[in-house]
Amino acid sequence: MPDPSDPATPKESITLEQFLKLAQVVSSGGSAKHLIQSGAVLVNGQVETRRKKKLFPGDIVLAEGQELHVASDQDDPGDPANATDDASS
């Protein structure tokens, strides 16, 4: 677990559930819960079943056939989810 007092620890985070909603992969928290707990979401190549898993800039989420990259607020202020869909590339 990252140490929040360590200056090298990223301070920006978002839960997996929130990220999926902001990236419009799901439309509700209930949908996010079902998708995550079914084992259909990968974070950095590993199946993730925890809704409250903290994501940090640089993490990669694969859900519903979309590859989404977690970015910091400063990386792309025009994108509220700070996510890019690389599956269509």
| pLDDT tens per residue, range 10-67 | 568 999 999 999 999 999 999 999 999 999 999 999 999 999 999 999 999 999 999 9
* 85 falls within a domain: no
Beta partners for 30?
Answer: none
pLDDT at 12: 85
* 4 falls within a domain: no
Q: Which of 34, 39, 12 is nearest to 21 (CA)?
A: 34
Domain count of the fold of the chain? 1
pTM: 0.72
* Domain containing residue 55: CATH number: 3.10.290.10
pLDDT at 46: 98
What is the per-residue pLDDT across 69-87, written as a single tens digit (0 to 9) for each? 999 877 655 554 545 455 4
Q: Which of 64, 47, 52 is nearest to 17 (CA)?
A: 52
Task: Supply the range of the domain harboring residue 49.
Answer: 14-69
* 5 falls within a domain: no
